[in-house]
Amino acid sequence: MSEEETQTTSATPPPPPPAPAPSSSGTGGSSNRGLMIALSYLWLLALIPLLVEKDDAEVQWHAKHGLTLLVAEVALWIVFGILSMVLGPLACVLAIVQLVLFIAIIAVHIICIVKGIKGERFLIPGVSQYADRF
């Protein structure tokens, strides 16, 4: 190999940088879609994506679903409050049921956030059908 060939092979430019990875927002979404979907399932904070991301149908669906879930939870807590007043001493047993139910509700919110960020929807029977009505 001559000296001239060595210089030309060592002077080759480095390969171009890899293309940027696709964002988690998918096509047509805003750059903060994941954050907005997470806010959708944090009770009253669901109003933020509902009012801010009006042009993103997926974020709107999750915000409406989160608000529908909130309304269902408030109705459930009202029922439990009335039952605890009526049952008197048996309200201690009801408090344990409420604790288990609260843990289940937190789990549902976490599942909804994780699936929403992945671009999926978690449908809750009896609740999710109302989100589509808005």
Is residue 89 one of the residues assigned to a domain? Answer: yes
Is residue 8 one of the residues assigned to a domain? Answer: no
> Which of 114, 106, 124, 111 minimizes the C-alpha distance to 34?
114
- φ, ψ of residue 124 to 5 degrees: the values are -105, 115
Number of domains into which the chain is organized: 1
**pLDDT number for residue 106:** 93
Is residue 2 one of the residues assigned to a domain? Answer: no
**pLDDT number for residue 26:** 44
98-40-100 Cα angle (round to 5) = 15
More confident site: 87 or 18: 87
**pLDDT number for residue 125:** 84
Give the domain extent around 112: 30-131
Is residue 25 one of the residues assigned to a domain? Answer: no
Is residue 6 one of the residues assigned to a domain? Answer: no
Each residue of 62-103: pLDDT tens digit?
998 999 999 999 999 999 889 888 888 888 888 898 999 999
Average pLDDT value for residue range 118-125: 87
- Please, how many CA atoms are within 13 Å of residue 118, restricted to the half-sphere of its CB? 9
The b-or-e profile of 98-120 (16+ CB within 10 A means b, else e) is beeeeeeeeebbeebbebbbeee
Residues 6+ apart with CB under 8 A from 83: 91, 94
- With a pLDDT cut of 70, the percent of the chain lying above it is 78
Is residue 71 one of the residues assigned to a domain? Answer: yes
Average pLDDT value for residue range 112-126: 88
Banded pLDDT at 111 (limits 50, 70, 90): very high
Beta carbons of 113 and 38 less than 8 angstroms apart: yes
